[in-house]
Amino acid sequence: MLDILGRTHDHLSANDIFVALHPSYPHLGLTTVYRTLDLLANLDLVIRFDFGDGRSRFELAEKVKGDRHHHHLICTGCRKIIDYRDFHDKEMELIEATQKKLARRYRFKISNHLMQFFGLCEQCAKRK
Ligand SMILES: [Zn+2]
Ligand SMILES: [Zn+2]
Ligand SMILES: [Zn+2]
């Protein structure tokens, strides 16, 4: 499962992973896939996303993948997900300052965050 998530740049649903595993592991059920993904998410090896379509997507944790931190642009028209790493200069500053402030105010040790922007991609915006 980690291997499949490690090889793709897509954000896969449990069902996508089930389909990808099926040829090699025909006896593996969808329930097992869900349960294993839950387990991996609890271990922080896998990150669970909700892109607003009621379907959880999974991505290998950046530290596991050796990947740089990224944020998401999500098209609500075609469900395309753009990963971006070319942060705006102020973006990281703002996030770090916000995290620091929240940590202090709520005595909360922040380990990670997700940043997702919803909207329309270029193609979908043109179609409207
Ligand atoms: Zn971030
Ligand atoms: Zn789109
Ligand atoms: Zn991503």
CA 33 to ligand 2 center in whole angstroms: 29
- Ligand 1 centroid to 114 CA: how many Å? 6
CATH class as words, domain 68-128: alpha beta
pLDDT of 9 higher than 90: no
Structure tokens at 120: 């329309």
Is the entire prediction scored with pTM above 0.85?
Answer: no
**Spacing, Cα 127 to ligand 1 middle (Å):** 30
Record: fold of 1-66: Arc Repressor Mutant, subunit A (1.10.10)
From residue 64, alpha-carbon distances to 36, 71, 120, 127 in Å are: 16, 17, 30, 38
Q: How far is the CA of 110 from the centre of ligand 1 (A)?
A: 12
**Alpha-carbon span 112 to 41, nearest angstrom:** 13
- Tens digit of each residue's pLDDT (9 = 90 or more) over 11-54: 999 999 999 999 999 999 999 999 999 999 999 899 998 877 78
Q: Where are the alpha helices (DSSP H) in the chain?
A: 2-7, 14-21, 30-42, 62-65, 89-106, 122-127
Question: Would you state the pLDDT for residue 16?
Answer: 94
Q: How far is the CA of 6 from the centre of ligand 3 (A)?
A: 12
Residues of the chain with CATH 3.30.1490.190: 68-128
Average the pLDDT over 68-97 and give the result: 92
Query: What is the C-alpha to C-alpha distance for residues 39 and 77, in angstroms, rounded to an integer?
Result: 31
CA neighbours closer than 13 Å in the CB half-sphere of residue 30: 5
**Average pLDDT in the chain:** 92
**Boundaries of CATH 1.10.10.10 in the chain?**
1-66
Residue 67 has pLDDT above 90, yes or no: no
Task: Kindly give the distance from the C-alpha atom of residue 95 to the centroid of ligand 3, in angstroms, as a whole number.
Answer: 18
- Which residue from 45, 51, 53 is spatially nearest to 114, judged by alpha carbons? 51
Token pair recorded at residue 41: 């998410």
Predicted confidence (pLDDT) at residue 114 exceeds the cutoff of 80:
yes
| Distance from Cα 103 to the centre of ligand 3, integer Å | 25
pLDDT digits (tens, 9 = 90+) for 90-102: 999 999 999 999 9
pLDDT of residue 82: 93
